[in-house]
Amino acid sequence: MRNNFHETIEYAKLKKNKKAEEFALTLEAIFSDVVSVPMFNDEDILIDKWGINFFHKESQTEISWSFILSLMNYINITGYKVSHVLTVPDFKFYAEVQERLCLGIPSTLSKDELNVLTIHNTK
């Protein structure tokens, strides 16, 4: 049976898996490379290492989100916990959010005046 990708799958416990951790670290490396490129006045950007090319700041943002969404869907579909190996704060944050969703932990997300993302338990 195929999962509807927009539905969260709840797990009693998330599993750890070395291959899943390696995959998450690869997505994190790509995400980090994409978001760290400075954009000045719409110039053509090519990240040779990953074969990623973009021209506008908006495209850079959309590409970076595709890696966040890929990671979140991977966690949802596989039930693997990977946030413990991630080090890029924004990327790790969304892994933690998805892991909490998969465990059925009610949460509220917030961003402070410095744009720091936080997860709060809700009851």
Query: Residue 62 in contact with residue 109, Cβ under 8 Å?
Result: no
Can you say whether the dihedral through the CA atoms of 74, 79, 80, 81 is positive or negative? positive
Number of domains in the chain: 1
Q: Is residue 101 part of a domain?
A: yes
Q: Is residue 1 part of a domain?
A: no
Each residue's pLDDT tens digit, 41-61:
666 666 667 667 666 667 777
Length of the chain: 123
Query: Residue 109 in contact with residue 119, Cβ under 8 Å?
Result: yes
Q: Is residue 5 part of a domain?
A: no
- Write out the two tokens for 75: 């966690």
Each residue's pLDDT tens digit, 74-84:
999 999 999 99
Q: Is residue 78 part of a domain?
A: yes
For the purposes of burial, counting CB atoms within 10 Å of the CB of 27, is it exposed (0-12), middle (13-18) or buried (19 or more)? buried
Parent domain of 23: 18-121
Q: Is residue 10 part of a domain?
A: no
Q: Is residue 67 part of a domain?
A: yes
Each residue's pLDDT tens digit, 11-28:
999 999 999 999 999 999
Cα distance between residue 107 and residue 122, in whole Å: 5
